[in-house]
Amino acid sequence: MAEHRSMQRAALLDAARSLLSEGGTEALTFPALAERTGLARSSVYEYFRSRAAVVEVLCEVDFPVWAADVSAAMERAGTAEAKVEAYVRQQLELVGDRRHRAVVAISASELDAGAREKIRAAHGGLVAMIVEALGELGHEQPRLAAMLVQGVVDAAVRRIELGAAEEPGAITDAAVSMALRGVRG
């Protein structure tokens, strides 16, 4: 029985990812989740008490996977500068990934304070990964610089998400170049 429940929960989370990546948080409704998974709406409520709860669980499940990808890309990089580049590039490469799209949709959405706090903490963990590299580059305020680099990444993510005129690769290159020039000060 427990295995069946965890399969249903996984199916609900997967449906939630699809809905978020297709239509943002407005698309994430319990009727839509029920329809996608073939479960009764009352069953959806057995797993999650609210949309915010779905989002919170998605963050707990998906954000660490995403952060691990970024972290692994940084570890493969040799120099501090290459680490900064990997940090930017890897996040932008993940934009096409449904999990990433779900995380982006979540970050942009209206959530309760608890869910927002979890997202902030997860983002904080991501930013913390680059603080060290910026310190190695001799930055006087590596924490501030890290927040600003993440701001460039977030702006580039939104640009790619919007299907802007530029190719995603061009947006990524511009973001990398801006981040590296900026961190060189």
* Degrees, nearest 5: CA angle 129-131-134: 125
Per-residue pLDDT tens for 78-130?
999 999 999 999 988 887 776 666 666 666 565 667 767 777 777 777 788 89
Q: pLDDT-based confidence at 174, cuts 50/70/90? A: very high
pTM: 0.76
- The whole-angstrom separation of Cα 45 and Cα 64 is 25
Per-residue pLDDT tens for 13-72?
999 988 987 887 788 899 999 999 999 999 999 999 988 888 888 878 888 888 889 999
Tokens, residue 148: 């600003």
